[in-house]
Amino acid sequence: MTSASGLSGSLTAAETVSSEPLKGRVRHSVCKWCYPDIPLETLCREAAGIGLQAIDLLEVADFPLLQQHGLVCAMVTGVPGGITKGLNRVEHHDAIAAYFEQVIPATAMAGFPNIICFSGNREGMSDAEGLERCAEGLKRILPLAEKQGVTICMELLNSRVNHHDYMADHTAWGVELCKRVGSERFKLLYDIYHMQIMEGDLIHTIREAAPYIAHYHTGGVPGRHEIDASQEINYPAVMQAIVATGYKGFVAQEFLPVNPDKLAALREAIRICDV
């Protein structure tokens, strides 16, 4: 098995072919938080050079810099309460609704597609009650999202390794929430890394849940590192399955590079996913 530290040869090959144009069947993005040592302006410049169209998980204040580089924010972040204090608690609804009332118009004005939201942790709450509370909170937000043409996306996260007690930890729960809400402006952020940990069966699940998915994130299992042969997910096959569903949204790289040349690791990941 190839280790991340032993990729110098393959990365050189990736750099050689990086001058070839991307196929255009996948719209590529990357999550800024995975590159804390790279300034946003530098990442924008490098991402555009690689062929990415977007950067994920930025806030409204970052929009002008993205636009200067011809990029979009494919998934806007900043919702109060973050991952753990989400829509499954009525006491959080006012603050979350106030946030979306400000951010939805700004996102629409910029022409960006999606804003993230979270279920929150269970903290003893049943999944059934959580569905009800999340649906209530989303129904306060969605009329504005529908009017402005912005999609609210709830991220599916694993509760085994990274986000213990998180409620939206299975695709079926997220799909049921989409059905209860009943709006084309509420869908799921399907994180391939997290759902491999929780469920596996990625390709079948993606095919079945495709109408309810508006965005994808990547990451190698285990460890959330490079998505190359050092980990267990067959990313080319998964990406082929995503493309076959007719998906037209973004796929964002969300892995933590082990390779010291983080941008080379990003270039390699884009090539792996460019099916």
Whole-structure pTM value: 0.92
**Bridge partners (DSSP) listed for residue 76:** 58, 115
pLDDT tier for residue 224 given thresholds of 50, 70 and 90:
very high
**Within the chain, how many helices (H) and strands (E) appear?**
10, 8
Q: Give the span between the Cα atoms of 136 and 87, in whole angstroms.
A: 8
pLDDT at 218 over 50: yes
CATH 3.20.20.150 fits 4-8+26-273, yes or no: yes
Residue 30, H or E segment: strand 27-30
Going from N- to C-terminal start, the domains of the chain cover: 4-8+26-273
- Range 132-135 contact pairs with CB under 8 angstroms and sequence separation of 24 or more: 133/87, 133/88, 133/89, 133/90, 134/86, 134/87, 134/88, 134/177, 135/177, 135/180, 135/181
The pLDDT tens digits of the residues spanning 37-83 come to 999 999 999 999 999 999 999 999 999 999 999 999 999 999 999 99
**Mean pLDDT in the chain?**
93
Give the largest Cα separation in the chain, rounded. Answer: 54
DSSP type of residue 74: S
Q: Give the span between the Cα atoms of 40 and 242, in whole angstroms.
A: 29
Amino acid letter at 105? P
